[in-house]
């Protein structure tokens, strides 16, 4: 996360675990579904890196952003877990997904080099990043400790 995220005092979370399945594409966030972002919607809903030099989250709920690719095995492993968490934490967090193959400009501007890369964004404060397919227990721990959602 060289360009943008390295300057945000990001804490690396432990990389562990695995699960498997393909993502199901939906477009709603408040219903407990995963929200798929483009470069433009990322700038509107998460962070406009073209305007802001300092981190400024645009959302109102804590969020997880999953940077993935369809060909990535570990990405397919973590996808169903994120789908579960989107439902379990409905109305308390938003789970976003960014297809790095389709959104190369966004991935490049954020310095995404490893997949999956998960960005944990509290409503206030700095985001934190984890790389790899984390097990559900680690994701829940990050939701509770980083996003401050019980």
Annotated active-site residue 108? The verdict is no
Strand partners, 117: 67, 131
b/e sequence 67-87, b meaning 16+ C-beta within 10 Å: bbbeebebbbbbbbbbbebbe
> Residue 117, SS3?
strand
Alpha helices (runs of H) in 8-135, residue ranges in sequence order: 39-45, 73-88, 104-110
Instruction: Report whether 119 contacts 127 (CB < 8 A).
Output: yes
Annotated active-site residue 72? The verdict is yes
**Given the residues 5, 13, 46, 75, the one annotated as active site:** 75
**Given the residues 72, 81, 94, 138, the one annotated as active site:** 72
As annotated, the active-site residues are 72, 75
């Amino acid at each position: 996360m060289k360009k943008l995220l390295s300057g945000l005092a990001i804490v690396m979370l432990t990389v562990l675990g695995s699960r498997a399945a393909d993502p199901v594409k939906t477009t709603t966030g408040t219903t407990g579904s995963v929200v798929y972002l483009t470069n433009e919607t990322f700038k509107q809903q998460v962070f406009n890196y073209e305007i802001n030099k300092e981190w400024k989250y645009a959302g109102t709920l804590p969020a997880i952003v999953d940077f993935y690719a369809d060909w990535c095995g570990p990405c397919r492993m973590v996808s169903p877990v994120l789908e579960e968490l989107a439902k379990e934490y409905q109305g308390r967090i938003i789970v976003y997904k960014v297809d790095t193959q389709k959104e190369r400009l966004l991935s490049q501007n954020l310095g995404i080099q490893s997949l999956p890369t998960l960005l944990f964004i509290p409503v206030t404060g700095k985001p934190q990043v984890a790389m790899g397919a984390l097990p559900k227990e680690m994701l829940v721990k990050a939701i509770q400790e980083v996003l401050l959602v019980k």
